[in-house]
Chain A
Amino acid sequence: MKSENMKKSGVMVFLKKLVRQQIFIPIAALLLLAVFNLINDPSFYKITYGYNSAGDPVLSGYLMTILDYGSELAILAIGMTLVTAATGGQDISVGATIAISGSVILRILCGTNSRPETLQAPILVAFLVSCVVAMIFGAFNGALVAYFKIQPMVATLILFTAGRSIAAWINNNELPIISDPVFSYFGGFIPGIPIPTPFFIAAACMIVTGLVLKFTTLGLYTQSVGINESSSRLNGLNPAFIKFLTFVILGLCVAVAGLIKVSRLSSINYSVIAKDIEMDAILAVALGGNALSGGKFNMTASILGAYVIQFLTTTLYKLNVQSDALPAYKAVVVIVLVVLSAPIVREKLSAFFKKINSKQRFKEVG
């Protein structure tokens, strides 16, 4: 009898520990979606092996779609997490800067002709230039936030409004189209490898981020600036520079995501490319259980959050939900998350759990 009780309480402790873990939130959301799909239609998990029209082997199915389309979101979530942690605000211009970096890539690959037979420059060069450009735009946002002390959302509102026009201007308002099949590998498949390339790109970004966080003080400094700016300054950090740096890093993430986006269609449409992606990126950070007001962060949870959002999107598409209604469903998720993370709700919840616990103990004693 006693041992059974012990076991029970052991499980309780374990569960409690799990629930307290930050990564619990995205995992719980993922499980919820997974179970829902399993009940609704088990064929959701079917993965088939086939060939694409170029004759290369590919894996396809909903799960591959999630891995594929969730990847650019995961990349953005990396940068967005850092920005959120350091500044306590979000960058809402990522969609517009993706349009800019995407146009830069196409501009360099195409030269002056909007429909070239051959590429005018190596893809790597175009990508590196777009990285630099995106980082400059990131630096612009960062400078406004860090040195001019403008609220992040207001500062990035500038590029949010102007970005797509800048993107159109870069290509003289033309819509370049690239016919070289190599360029489509980044958003599609590399011949012979049946897993979508964006996933590999995202994995590479994750590994780099993991190494940087482990071997440099970036993570620690970002968190300390986010938690208490003035005390971290008194401890010899330069909060302004760290905020600035997080925006530049986000710029780099944007360039990588931009490459995937333009590669998917080998073209660009300035007004709609990566539309509303900032919503999803911020949501990924929130779903990862990170406080949107800055401070501590958990990168793994954010990345998982990004894939969970794509999971949600794909599920909704599968259910034939009107695509213009998707944001409404995502908004529900945001509301639930924000309400759950509000201090007053947390207090009430913990009080509630304590009550249950004490009742149980009371029973045991009785």
Chain B
Amino acid sequence: MKKKVLAAIMAATMVLGLAACGSKEAAAPAEAPKEEAAAPAQEEEAPAEAEEEAAPEEEAAPAEGSGELIKVGIINNDPNESGYRTANDKDLKAMFTEENGYEASFAYSNKNDEQISSAQKFIQDGVDYLLISAADTAGWDSVLTDAQNEGIRVILFDRVIDADESLYEASIVSDMAKEGETAVEWLKGQGLSEYNIIHLQGVMGSAAQKGRSGALDAAVESEGWKLVTQQTAEWNAEKAQQIVQSVIDSGESFNVIYAENDDMAKGAVAALDKANISHGVGKDVVIMGFDCNKWALEELLKQNWNYDGQCNPFQSSYIDEIIKTIQGGGSPAQKTIIMDEKGFDATEITQEDVDNFGI
């Protein structure tokens, strides 16, 4: 009896599975589901839409500005990943709207293979532009070649990939090494009598960690600064708190905390507060963070922290500009566009900065 029921369920599952596959294929040429939850609702009207849209597209592959919406497929990392990503996603969503002349579809994943398959889907959908923030640098060649053959323009943002430059129009990135250098230059300029630094690193091997650590390591070497401890807290405030706590417990003295993101700086400050070690402008310990979260800039404004380096998540205006150039028949001046990134000093920051640059 049990077996029969099981068999029936299995059969039902398989049939459903087949049906699901079928409908997915049908839906594919229309538009990628914006959110999974919304997918079933769209499926019914999808085939009709697909037919309608297929016709004009054959005539002009990259739609020609006037009145018609430009179709963009955006592949990004999971917005939950960090405050940076949340701000990045929000910024893109605000730019690529119908009012601005775009029809945007989004796909999110932190996994490279999933991102590549969504890229293939977007190519089938016949988007005009493919915007990619790749989870991993490798494995993109074939899908980008496909895109090129279909006449789809590819623009990379935030992350670079290992592919031939001819395969994409432009890449808009942050220069992490420069971020680190800006911060270290600032630290040099503070003219402290001695530099005893607690260095809290991000997840080892990530681009942000490499760039920001590299600059500090070089300065430690050349300036004779002392690293009290150099540890990865994996972008994690709790871990940072424990690491700094451990240094405090050991009784070693330090006067700079160089945290590679705001969360870790926050954790470090929590440990300092517990031990009544003063921090901020004109105090015992210099606090440095990165990413310019709004709450972090507010700490700067209160002079509890000293420095925060920007990692600019607002690529959409750059992307928009490039698309406008291409639509107008031109081509972007440079392949790699490095965004302006600032470093904020607690003594100079204003409320306006907090509002404009906080993420």
Contacts and interface: CB of A to CB of B under 8 A. Distances in A.
B270 A265 contact: yes
A318 interface: yes
A265 B267 contact: yes
Contacts of B80: 164-165, 168, 173, 270-271
A324 B273 CA distance: 25
Given A58-B275, A168-B80, A324-B234, 10 more contacts: A53-B274, A61-B249, A65-B245, A173-B86, A270-B80, A271-B82, A272-B237, A314-B242, A317-B243, A323-B242
A205 to B, nearest CB: 20
B66 interface: no
B246 A265 contact: no
Contact of A53 (B83, B236, B242, B272): B272
A273 B238 contact: yes
A217 interface: no
Contact of A269 (B203, B242, B263): B263
A214 B168 CA distance: 70
A150 to B, nearest CB: 15
Interface residues of B, number: 40
B209 to A, nearest CB: 11
A279 B203 CA distance: 19
Nearest to A173: B86
Given A53-B273, A60-B275, A320 B241 contact: no
A317 B242 contact: yes
Given A164-B80, A265-B270, A272 B234 contact: yes
A175 interface: yes
B246 A52 contact: no
B232 interface: yes
13 contacts: A52-B273, A62-B246, A62-B249, A168-B80, A174-B86, A188-B274, A264-B238, A267-B237, A270-B80, A272-B238, A314-B242, A323-B234, A323-B243
A40 B263 CA distance: 33
A27 interface: no
Contact of A264 (B203, B241, B243, B276): B241
A261 B80 CA distance: 19
B235 A272 contact: yes
B238 A267 contact: no
A43 B250 CA distance: 8
Interface of B: 79-83, 86, 203-204, 229, 231-239, 241-243, 245-246, 248-251, 263, 266-267, 270, 272-278, 293, 295
B231 A65 contact: no
Interface residues of A, number: 42
Contacts of B79: 173
Contacts, number: 102
Contacts of B81: 271
B249 A51 contact: no
Contacts of B241: 264-265
Contacts of A322: 231-232
A115 B298 CA distance: 12
A58 B231 contact: no
A7 to B, nearest CB: 43
A49 to B, nearest CB: 11
Contacts of B272: 53
A149 interface: no
A320 B267 contact: no
A50 B237 contact: no
A323 B82 contact: no
Nearest to A274: B238
A247 interface: no
Nearest to A273: B238
A177 interface: yes
Given A50-B276, A60-B274, A177-B295, A314 B236 contact: no
Given A65-B246, A317-B243, A317-B246, A323 B231 contact: yes
B201 to A, nearest CB: 9
Contact of B246 (A54, A273, A314): A314
Nearest to B90: A173
A264 B266 CA distance: 11
A175 B266 CA distance: 13
Which of A54, A175, A177 has the most C-beta atoms of chain B within 10 angstroms of its own C-beta? Answer: A175
Nearest to A56: B276
A8 interface: no
A322 B237 CA distance: 16
Contacts of B275: 50, 52, 58, 60
Nearest to A172: B86
A274 B239 CA distance: 10
B136 to A, nearest CB: 18
A173 B90 CA distance: 11
Contacts of B233: 323
Contacts of A165: 80
A177 B203 CA distance: 24
A69 B248 contact: no
Interface string A36-74: 000000010010001111100010111001000100000
Contacts of A46: 251
A69 B276 CA distance: 19
Interface in A249-306: 261, 264-265, 267, 269-275
A318 B274 contact: no
